[in-house]
Every structure is written in C-alpha cells, then in structure tokens.
Amino acid sequence: MRMNEVTYDDSRPVDAYGPGFFRIGGEIVQGAVIILPSGVFGWGGQDDRARLLAAAGEIDVLFIGTGAEIAQIPRDLRAVLEGAGLGVEIAASPAACRTYNVLLSEGRRVGLAALPV
C-alpha cells in the first residue's frame, strides 16, 4: 500500500472538534465557525447569512454542519444560498468537517459553516 502525506497549501483544515470548539489549522476556535479561503470567522448560526452569501465568488460548495446530529436547515436559507450559486451540502458537523477536509486536500473550492457538537 502506498501512503501519501496530505498537504493543504495555505488552506486551513479542521484538525479536531469537540464539545463547543473546533481546532482549525492548529488554532482553537470556540463556538460555531465559518471556514473560507479568505479566513476563519465566528458564525452566529443559521440566521447569520451575510458572510455565507459573500463567499459565493470564493467557493463552489458550502458544507453546513448542523451539530452532533444531522438536521434540516431552513428552506429559505438553502434557497438563498443556492440562488447565490452555492452548492449546499448538509451533514452532522463531524461528517461535514471530514468531507470538507477531503475536498480541501484535493484543491477544491469549498467552505464550511459548522455548529459545534
């Protein structure tokens, strides 16, 4: 079996997550988070849409982590994001973080908005 080290260029992967926090690129972030090519930002939750909409030119797909369990997001949130040209994928935050990291390592234009577990 051939093993390859994963590199992320200057992007910041999710290294870990736990109750109330994420570790992103080696730094601890408390609470909900948005990770975009332009940086890491606090997120006010599903009603906090401005930064997500502004990311439409930066990313093609936005992963939304809904916490410890998968849950639906409000229909109007999905409609607004998709209307801005973003692909939206919903998952529990652990799965959203893992999938974000995989696509990030492939050089894809992805973002993550996640609620803590």
Alpha carbon 10 to chain centroid, angstroms: 16
Residue 48 has pLDDT above 80, yes or no: yes
Measure the CA–CA gap between 71 and 108, rounded to whole angstroms.
25
pLDDT tens digit string along 74-113?
999 999 999 999 999 999 999 999 999 999 999 999 999 9
Whether this prediction's pTM lies above 0.75 is answered by yes
Supply angle C-alpha 65, 68, 70, rounded to 5. Answer: 60
The answer to whether residue 2 sits within a structural domain is: no
User: Domain of 78?
Assistant: 14-115
Number of domains forming the structure of the chain: 1
- What would the DSSP string read from start to end of 4-47? -----TT---EEEEETTEEEETTEEEES-EEEETTEEEE---TT
Asked, for residue 4, whether it belongs to a domain, the answer is no
